[in-house]
Structures are given as C-alpha cells and as structure tokens.
Amino acid sequence: MNIKITDHLYLRSDQYCCWIVRTSTVKTGKSVGKEVEQIIGYYRSPVDALIELLSHRIRTSEATDLKEIISLVCQHNDLMRALVTDIRPKEIMK
C-alpha cells in the first residue's frame, strides 16, 4: 500500500505493518533539491497509523485553547473523509 495522505505524508505498508513517511526537499549541503523520506512511525494497522497521526498533530501543535484542538480534530476528520471518498478537503493538513 502507498497512499498519499497530504502533499508530504504517505501511508505505506507491507505484509507485516504500516508506516507513515514524510517527504521533504533538502535545502542545504551536497544534496540541495533532492527529495528525501523520513519514517515517522510504524503501526499495526492503517487505523492505528491514522489515529497516531492525529495524536501527533495535537501533541506538536501550538494550540492555546480548546477551540484550536477541536479545529485540528475537524481538519483531521475532513482529511480522513477525503481519503475514503477520494474528494480533496478545502484545507489540507500540513
């Protein structure tokens, strides 16, 4: 499995587990402009991976009140709905 979640996040799997990969472009050094991948984490199932993606976004957010957390959850839900229906949400999570 190799599912594009956002412009820089992919959900991948093999017969044993799933993982989320973040892609980025090198900005300095010998490999400037080269696309690199970083594994964010390994998970037992796609559901576990997507739940952890939301948890990670909440833990690393700079939210100062509950409304901002609720907004993150709504964005995540819109993204999951888009993945299921193949319709891109108006605002993609970064």
Residue 90 lies in a domain: no
Look at residue 18 in the predicted model and tell me its pLDDT: 93
Section 43-63 average pLDDT: 87
Residue 69 lies in a domain: yes
Look up the domain containing 11 and give its range: 2-85
Instruction: Give every CB contact of residue 67 below 8 A, 6+ residues apart in sequence.
Output: none
DSSP SS3 for 50: helix
Residue 94 lies in a domain: no
Domain count of the fold of the chain: 1
Residue 38 lies in a domain: yes
* pLDDT for residue 88 is more than 60: no
Section 26-54 average pLDDT: 90
State the chain's mean pLDDT as an integer: 85
Degrees to nearest 5, angle at CA 25 with 74 and 4: 40
Degrees to nearest 5, angle at CA 64 with 62 and 66: 110
* pLDDT for residue 23 is more than 90: yes
Q: DSSP letter string over 18-30?
A: EEEEEEEE--SST
